[in-house]
Amino acid sequence: MRLAREERREQILDAATRAFGRTGFADTSVDEVAAEAGITRVILYRHFDSKTTLYREVLDRASERLFEQVGAGGFGENTIASLLGAAAGDPDGFRLLFHHAAREPEFRDQMDKLTSTAIEVAEKALDGRVPPGPWANWAAKVTMTFTIEAVIAWLDAGRPSPDEAATRIRTAVRGIITASGPL
């Protein structure tokens, strides 16, 4: 079936997200992405100049979807539920951003921006609860890392009870915040 150019491009991005989401950039070949999309390598290269270009676009799209769902504002009562919803809506993209791409030096610049934004959100949540300084910085990083890893574990467990998962993660985050505050 012949698709319009933009539809074909979206099909390739969807397939690339799934393929890269399984094994990351280095361990996924262009042929694997093409096979996942049900196209030839030649058609893939008509839409994307290189594997790197394709991967960067996949990361950009996954980041945009995440920000659309969660936002980059402050940390509120619904932030973790929104994060779980974003992960459930695009599990391959979420894993790709926070599991694979975070460990790939070639894409460090993109991931550093995403990590910095997540840490800023965590720092806003700590404002007034943890005195500024090294403990606040530590708590923001631990909170961000814990939350992302908890969401990935939730995805891996088959996404059980999203409401209960959000409550449990929120409770653990509150524990981190409490542990970071004055003794």
Please give the pLDDT value at position 90: 92
Give me the phi and psi of 82, to 5 degrees please: -65, -40
Range 3-25 average pLDDT:
91
- The count of C-alpha atoms lying within 13 angstroms of the C-alpha of 48, restricted to the half-sphere facing its C-beta, is 22
Is 90 exceeded by the pLDDT of residue 38?
yes
pLDDT above 70 covers a percentage of the chain that reads 95
Model confidence at 183, pLDDT cuts 50, 70, 90, reads low
| pTM across the whole model | 0.85
Name the one residue in this structure whose structure tokens are 């594997």.
51
**Is residue 101 predicted with pLDDT exceeding 90?**
no
pLDDT at 93 (0 to 100):
93
Per-residue confidence (pLDDT) for residue 75, from 0 to 100: 64
Domains and CATH numbers, the chain: 5-180 (1.10.357.10)
**Average pLDDT for the chain:** 88
Yes or no: say if 13 and 64 are a contact pair by the CB < 8 Å rule.
no
What's the rounded mean pLDDT across residues 139-168? 93
Lowest pLDDT segment from 27-41, 68-82, 133-147: 68-82
* 14 vs 182: CA distance, rounded Å: 47
Residue 29: count other Cβ atoms within 10 Å of its Cβ.
13
pLDDT at 18 over 60: yes
Q: pLDDT tens, 54-91?
A: 999 999 999 999 888 887 556 667 889 999 999 999 99
